[in-house]
Amino acid sequence: TTTGNLKVIREEHMRVMKDGAILCNAGHFNVEIDIPALRKLAVKRREVLEDVEEFQLKGGKRLYLLAEGRLVNLAGKRSLGHPMEIMDMSFALQALSVEYIAKHAGELEPKVYEVPADIDREVAELKLKSIGAELEKPTKEQLEYLRSWRAGT
């Protein structure tokens, strides 16, 4: 799961999963997978590997939960954290946002702001340039389509 919502994988899903299905969360806290429901369904539980728990259900089907349902890339002893390709963009956004706040301190109200679009675009362009790619400029027709509420479905 990667939704950021709770109980995305529920009992009704677990009941119809194939034997050997792996339950893993990469989106939010350990609430995306309904772990209490999984525990309730299980007739037997055991740790088969570090950070891998097997839940055997009635009928013998086994489901495997990684990292206790927590963020799989951050939780557990085998986690590696966020890839550096993600972290460099996160830090760039944070640094440029702090610079923006410092430059506009007298103009800003005390509230939560989205990252300004020009900063977001600058970070994207810098990242693409660093890997030898560039962002294709949208055509006039594409820009008109994106701005129109009449187009599309």
pLDDT tens, position by position, 21-42: 999 998 878 999 999 999 999 9
- For 82-141, write each residue's pLDDT tens digit: 778 888 999 999 999 999 999 999 999 999 999 999 999 999 999 999 999 987 788 898
Q: Is residue 106 part of a domain?
A: yes
Domain residue limits at 55: 11-69
pLDDT attached to residue 7? 94
101 and 137 inside one domain: yes
Q: Is residue 76 part of a domain?
A: no
Euclidean distance between CA atoms 92 and 85, whole angstroms: 11
**pLDDT range class, residue 152, cuts 50, 70, 90:** low
Tell me which of 29, 46, 69 is where a domain ends.
69
88 and 64 inside one domain: no
pTM above 0.75, yes or no: no
Helix, strand, coil shares, percent, the chain, to 5: 40, 15, 45
> How many structural domains are present in the chain?
2
